[in-house]
Amino acid sequence: MSTKVFSWILSALLVGSVGTGSSPDAMAQVIKSGPPSCPGIALTFDLCPVKKSPGYDQALVDYLIQHRIPATFFMSGKWMAKHDAEVEHLLGIEFFEVGTHGEVHAHLPTHNAGEQQKEIHAPVKFLREHYAHDATLFRPPYGEYNDTTIDVVKLLGLRFIQWNIESGDPDPMLTADQIVARIQQRAKPGSIVVLHANGKGKQTRAVIERLTTDVLPRKSLTPMTVSELLACQTKTP
């Protein structure tokens, strides 16, 4: 579908719903957590493009694999273009899940429907054509969106995934202790935590070790992928 045709279809669907804020119905389509009846928590890692570093936290990923910790990664198209081997590797881990994070990490609300469609769909198409992977989860760059973003994501058949716990791991001023404390205070059944695996989180690997060996077990929370969390319904006895 061309961008022009897509914009026309979306514009028709949005008649009467244009505004600066998000409507209640639209907001309900943005997933920020899983069922509160589920004893799980989703550890999610954004893979945003970076300019001056390798852009991949190998030590973090190795730890997740070594300890078989389920995780969900949201990859930008620009990041994937520079990390073919890493994409292949992450897709090959059975307890990992891969979603998308926009093409160039654009500020979506500043773009029209056609431009948002291109930014959102490009990495989905790339994963399908180059890796035979059908990505169904989408997270907007910077966590920014408007009603148009929500409608584009819905029209593309994707699930719109945000979070209810912001770890703050890219902040160089935060220590591992501070990040762990932030997550510990907020973590509850059904939580979705946003972290980074592109190297910007200098403390992320240490944080994950602390969470998975101490904090989460004490809270009786089990790491799950986002899809596993959303499908989880009841607490275990």
Q: Tell me whether residue 236 is in a domain.
A: no
- Count of residues for the chain? 237
The span from the CA of 22 to the CA of 123, in Å, is 25
98 within 8 A of 75, measured Cβ to Cβ? yes
The DSSP annotation for 124-182 comes to HHHHHHHH-----EE--GGG---HHHHHHHHHTT-EEE--SEE--TT-TT--HHHHHHH
3-state secondary structure of 8: helix
Per-position b or e across 16-52, b if 16+ CB within 10 A of its CB: eeeeeebeeebeeebbebbbeebbbbbbbbbbbbbee
- The total domain count for the chain is 1
SS (HEC) of 57-114? CHHHHHHHHHCCCCEEEEECHHHHHHCHHHHHHHHCCCCEEEEECCCCCCCHHHCCHH
In the block, residue with structure tokens 């669907």: 13
pLDDT range class, residue 2, cuts 50, 70, 90: low
The whole domain housing 215 covers 24-231
Question: pLDDT over 90 for what percent of the chain?
Answer: 84
Q: Tell me whether residue 149 is in a domain.
A: yes
pLDDT range class, residue 236, cuts 50, 70, 90: very low
Q: Tell me whether residue 10 is in a domain.
A: no
Give the pLDDT score at 3. 52
Give the pLDDT score at 208. 98
Q: Tell me whether residue 51 is in a domain.
A: yes
The span from the CA of 236 to the CA of 53, in Å, is 42
Give the pLDDT score at 220. 97
Q: Tell me whether residue 190 is in a domain.
A: yes
Contacts of 189 (CB under 8 A, 6+ apart): 34, 35, 36, 37, 38, 39, 40, 41, 221, 235
Q: Tell me whether residue 4 is in a domain.
A: no
Residue of higher predicted confidence among 5 and 133: 133
Q: Tell me whether residue 13 is in a domain.
A: no
pLDDT higher than threshold 80 for residue 209: yes
pTM recorded for the entire structure: 0.89
Give the pLDDT score at 53. 79
pLDDT higher than threshold 70 for residue 13: no
Q: Residue 76: how many CA atoms within 13 Å on its side-chain side?
A: 22
CATH number at residue 210: 3.20.20.370
Q: Tell me whether residue 130 is in a domain.
A: yes
pLDDT in tens, 25-69: 444 489 999 999 999 999 999 999 988 778 999 999 999 999 999
User: Quick one: tokens of 111?
Assistant: 């773009």
pLDDT in tens, 80-136: 999 999 999 999 999 999 999 999 999 999 999 999 999 999 999 999 999 999 999
As beta bridge partners, residue 47 has: 75
Question: pLDDT over 70 for what percent of the chain?
Answer: 86
Burial of 230 (0-12, 13-18, 19+ CB in 10 A): buried
pLDDT higher than threshold 90 for residue 15: no
**Average pLDDT of the chain to the nearest whole number:** 90
The span from the CA of 170 to the CA of 79, in Å, is 17
